[in-house]
Structure 1
Amino acid sequence: MSLPPPQFLAVNGVDIALRRREGREPGIVWLGGYYSDMRGSKAEWLDQWTAEKGLAFLRHDYSGHGESSGEFRDGTISLWLEQSLAVFRQFSSGPQIVVGSSMGGWIALRLIEELQKAGKGGRIAGLVLIAPAPDFTSELVEPQLTNDQRRQIAERGCMEEPSDYSSVPYIYTKALLEDGKANQVLKGVIQTDCPVHILQGMEDLDVPYTHALRLMDHLPVDDVTITLVRDGDHRLSRPQDLELLTRTVSSMVDRAKTVHSIQ
């Protein structure tokens, strides 16, 4: 059966593609990773699971990703955060559990921070982070750059790197790296005021599991659980990984129902 076409939300002249499934609260909000789109295996799995459970589900593509318009090279954490906030505010209501994968984990932490500033932090009933990559530009990318890559960024404004997941190379722009510094979260105490569960593969070559452990050090106030998958890679998309994901989200839903007295 073919998937219905997405809805679109115009955010500063860019058409952001999104898919929304109506359902009960707490809803589930998906935030994908760098170069990922809302039709990836984990997002599709959650869509099927939420449909079976009758839960609301919201997902979207950042600009330059998937079905959204815009150029990938123009993307920054600030821009993709702005788009994510716009979709969240317009297409969700009530308590939500945010599931952020890789870069989506960074976007999720910044989204919560911005909602808190607006007095809406209580909207987040739980946070599930899959191989979270907060501050990946300064912590994981920049330290690995070769002199040639640094020269490319300085002269051309970007550099390319082969991807293990696609024939299209990763592009890292000077704007992305500079903007990443303005969105750093691993610089002090992070307080989400909600339960947090991190799923992390120990064979992850893109985001080492030590990065997830470091994130935990910055979450001293919240109720944080981490599940280390000994043979798990960065994607955590094997059948057993997807089952772990839904067990984790299901547990978070049950907790939210208790705290928020949702029927």
Structure 2
Amino acid sequence: MQSPGPTEPFLGARDLFETEHDLDLPVEVTIREDPDSRTWTAHYDDRHVLNISRQAASSAMARPLALHEYSHMRRYEQSHPSHIQSTGEAITLALAGHTVERRTLTQCYQIANHMKDIYADDITLSVAPADRLVAFLESSLASALADRPVDPPTWKRLTPAADPNITAVNAAFALALLERHDCIPDDHRLYDLAHAAADDAAGVDLPAFKRRFRTLAADPDTSEYRRTLVEATREYAIRTGYAAD
């Protein structure tokens, strides 16, 4: 630990992770005071650094989050294309000749992160039950739908509404990940939430994105992974009408 904070979630996640996998490099945990800090890992030649907010580190999700980040570390050490290939280069290739808004570009990076997460969670779900992940994805999607844009807009809104199109892609990701590992029954509430998300986003083919995420090859080579990311980026930014020539 690089800063004071709870240690049990990280040690518990490590012990569970090591029942099936190993890391070659040591892991440092940095706890940040900003409650809005996202959980993420930085990779260096001699170590990995897991960054997490104190609020998240003290929550019931701390251990699952740590386990997820350890899985990202493992993918990086494996030199998996999803974790070492330049996302920026692939997105630039996908959008060559088109103009997109900064918001849309950010959302394209989010799609790439979903692909990374699927490969990380292929490891996570091989060593841990999916219960908390399912609950987290359900809660996140329900919250995004509750924050859908108001028509007409109201001045009372204090934060930007969730974008319906990326919410639909997020729903596709959640279903794809859980279906990929047979984690939910056919009548799970996530399907109703995803249907509502699809209704709000006429420009997004939710089943197509779900299929893209669910069928990601387990061990793609560099060119195959780049092609998959390029196609997903174009599907979102160009075919939904977000990009202009």
Normalised to the residue count of structure 2, the TM-score between the two structures is 0.37
Q: Higher relative CO (CA 8 A, sep ≥ 6), structure 1 or 2? A: 2
* The structure with more strand, counted as a fraction of residues: 1
Normalised to the residue count of structure 1, the TM-score between the two structures is 0.35
Q: Which has the larger radius of gyration?
A: 2
